[in-house]
Amino acid sequence: MPDQPFQRIRFEAQDRLAVVTLDRPDRRNALDSLTLAELRAAIARCDADRGIGALLLRGEGPDFCAGADLGELRATVESADDAANRADAMALGDLLIAMREARLPIIAAVHGHALAGGAGLATAADLIVASASAVFGYPEIHLGFVPAMVTVPLRRAVGEKKAFELITLGRRFDAAEAQRMGLVARVFEDDVFAEASLAFGRELAGRSASALELCKRMLYGIDGMTFDQAILHGADINVLARATDDFREGVRRFLERKSR
């Protein structure tokens, strides 16, 4: 696939792992409208390339992402009507939906600060790995604001009462606490974080592409279903998995090893 020029992010792909780097270190990788559009384009690019098995999202400079570009947000709020403000809000909303619906797993590799929309971006990923010194927070309430769309993946990640605490107190918390609450999958020491997060991404990308896609479809597809409906959905996913080349080859290899 030909390279696509980006202004706010960097895109690299090697050994089935795509690495997308937020590249506004002078603005602490703040999310403006162009950054959101480029992230959606990068996800679409990965989804279309079957040679890519996973996407690792990280930030350039001292922080992962400090949140929304408040200068751009203030200009929009002061000049736009409700319809235009809704369209602006959905720039982030569309990205969160794209992350959820992407066929491949998305890993957020968080170092430094992941605050407000930056924490939301990480929360919307399928998995988070963090450096030991990373700091998370949803502090919008201190600005009289609400992490509205971000609450959707947050509630699913940590549960209703913990999500309520985090968005109403707006406090910051470290990687160890984020791991205890189930938000973060792995915490790596700062001096090995860059390579360890890449190794984690490569390991995931090396798994069966069809199985990864179906795992994600299964897990997220049961939202809002009754128990019986979810079991039926699981049976459908099971049938799809049985028909894949990866499954048939995996069974063949396993039986051959067992017969030796």
CA distances from 205 to 16, 54, 238, 249 (A): 6, 5, 21, 18
Q: What is the CA radius of gyration of the chain?
A: 19
Using a 10 angstrom Cβ sphere, with 0-12 exposed, 13-18 middle and 19 or more buried, the burial of residue 1 is exposed
Catalytic residue, chosen from 12, 38, 140, 165, is 140
H runs (alpha helix) in the chain: 33-48, 70-79, 82-101, 117-124, 151-158, 160-169, 175-180, 193-205, 209-221, 227-242, 245-259
**Amino acid of residue 42:** A
What phi, psi does 47 have (nearest 5°)?
Answer: -60, -35
Q: What is the rounded distance in angstroms from the CA atom of residue 160 to the CA atom of residue 33? A: 29
CB-based burial label for 110 (10 Å; 0-12, 13-18, 19+)? buried
Cα within 13 Å of Cα(94), Cβ side: 16
Question: Catalytic: 256?
Answer: no
**By the 8 A CB rule, do 150 and 138 touch?**
yes
Q: Which residues are catalytic?
A: 140
